[in-house]
Amino acid sequence: MQAAAPALLAQKKAAPKRPNIVLIIADDLASWMLGCHGNQEIKTPNIDTLARTGARFANNFVCTPICSASRATLFTGRLPRQHGIHDFLTPQPIENPPQGQAAPPASFKNEVMISDTLSAAGYNCGYVGKWHMGDDATPGHGYKFTYTMGRPGRYQDPVMYRNGQQVEEKGYLADLMTGQACQFIDQQQAGAPFFLVASYFNPHVPYDGHPQKYYDMYANTAFDTVGWEPAAKNALREKGLLQDTVGNLRKCAAATTALDDQIPILRRKLQERGMLDDTLVVFTGDNGFLLGRHGLWSKGLASDPINMYEEVVQTPMIWSWTGHIPAEHVRPELVSFYDVLPSLCDVAGVTPPANRNLCGQSYAPLAMNRPLPKKQTWPGTVFGHFRNTEMARDNRFKLVLRNDGQGPNELYDLRQDPREKVNQIGEPQYVNVRDRLRKELESWRRKYSS
């Protein structure tokens, strides 16, 4: 019996420590807008540095290219047809005012979010920034501290809610959010894990209200490499911004670089507290954005019909955790927002919510460059769903079906046509591909319809 005691003590010492988790979310930030994904004109040096410190998923997809529904999938692991949040989103008028935001449902309390699960497991949970899933003033879901946006969103002197109490703030929104996030970190105790969401409004419209120095950075940038096009005939949401595409690109770039400058402040605070090595930092965007590509400005609702272009469904996904995730690590697998909840649960050593019919799985082993569990393979197809529009996308082809397959439908060979210019849906040589992806999509729909 005495001999067993040291062994038991060693096991206790070897037990993995639960990391802190800081999840940073940008609003309307596509992968292609970042330097680490090849952008040559929008300056994102700090996000690019964060990517070099850990793993960058080169093919991360949202399930729904619109703010509220995408966030709902991110935090619950469930699909739009399961949580139903996008059915509450009101269509935007053709000339959508920059301040306009679609209204989320009045309540989202019946869903189980990652914060509910982590809070129950002993994590201290805090939320700073844009919520946009109903109950903006009082998100609930296990968060002991909240500092959330009022509406309409504005970048200067915003209306905020601190733990449910309205406050009229003075200053720049992103700076205020970072300040509150740093205060939350300061209040944490070493050895007690925490989960912090820093959900920035940048670079969402309106494009005014950012510090002048960021506008000055892009005053002479021509944006020759962006690939923007004249306004398309089917342009819808925010199409008015296409009347001055380069001018508005400069403003959006300014908003993006202003966001980028918040990243090192958060990391320095973790370093000051001696917590950086014990913290997983995750950076992502809630949906992509077009910025003139395809002759459209916004996201899924930028066009009629709804689009599922790469620009709106691909967002950054960066994981950084010193000593656990290799530096300069790029993963090619196709991962989705519905994989985030099981991945974070895996890292935290907690079981994902039961009886939620989750379709995702943990990609934490991929981030850490470890083998997947025995007999487990990574799926080769990701799926998307937005109202009457669905998507199945593998590592070469993308199928877009609308109105239960009645159309208009699209099929792209992304290897030959990465900018999705040539619709191959009716071409005989792609019939087998089309039918295969359609069957996969139908199977996914049936299995995860509730």
Could you tell me the CA-to-CA distances from 431 to 170, 412, 435 in Å, in that order? 58, 12, 6
- Residue 358, pLDDT above cutoff 60: yes
Instruction: Label the pairing between strands 317-320 and 279-285.
Output: antiparallel
Q: What is the mean pLDDT of residues 113-141?
A: 96
**Residue pair 440/447 in contact by the 8 Å Cβ criterion:** no
Task: Give the predicted TM-score (pTM) of the model.
Answer: 0.93
| CA separation for the pair 341, 385 (Å, rounded) | 18
| CA separation for the pair 225, 246 (Å, rounded) | 11
| Structural domains in the chain plus CATH codes | 15-375 (3.40.720.10), 388-450 (3.30.1120.10)
DSSP H stretches of helix in 261-386: 263-272, 310-313, 340-348, 364-367
Buried/exposed code over 268-297 (b: 16+ C-beta within 10 A; e: otherwise): ebbeebebbebbbbbbbbbbbbbbbbbbbb
pLDDT at position 319 is 98
Q: What is the mean pLDDT of residues 225-250?
A: 97
Q: Helix, strand, or coil here: 144?
A: strand
- Residue 345, pLDDT above cutoff 70: yes
- Residue 434, pLDDT above cutoff 90: yes
pLDDT in tens, 146-160: 999 987 889 999 999
pLDDT in tens, 78-91: 998 877 665 433 33
Nearest to 204 by CA among 164, 157, 151: 151
- Residue 399, pLDDT above cutoff 70: yes
- Residue 10, pLDDT above cutoff 70: no
Q: What is the mean pLDDT of residues 385-395?
A: 97
Predicted confidence band at 2 (pLDDT cuts at 50, 70, 90)? very low
Percentage of the chain exceeding pLDDT 70: 91
**Strand order across the beta sheet in which 397-402 lies:** 382-386, 389-393, 397-402, 410-413
Predicted confidence band at 119 (pLDDT cuts at 50, 70, 90)? very high
| CA separation for the pair 52, 130 (Å, rounded) | 27
DSSP H stretches of helix in 15-125: 45-52, 67-76, 80-83, 114-120
pLDDT at position 248 is 98
pLDDT in tens, 158-172: 999 999 999 999 999
pLDDT at position 86 is 54
| CA separation for the pair 402, 389 (Å, rounded) | 4
- Residue 351, pLDDT above cutoff 60: yes
Could you tell me the CA-to-CA distances from 90 to 101, 299, 307, 382 in Å, in that order? 9, 15, 17, 26
Greatest CA separation for the chain: 80
Element (H, E) at 59: strand 55-61
- Average per-residue pLDDT in the chain? 92
pLDDT at position 16 is 57
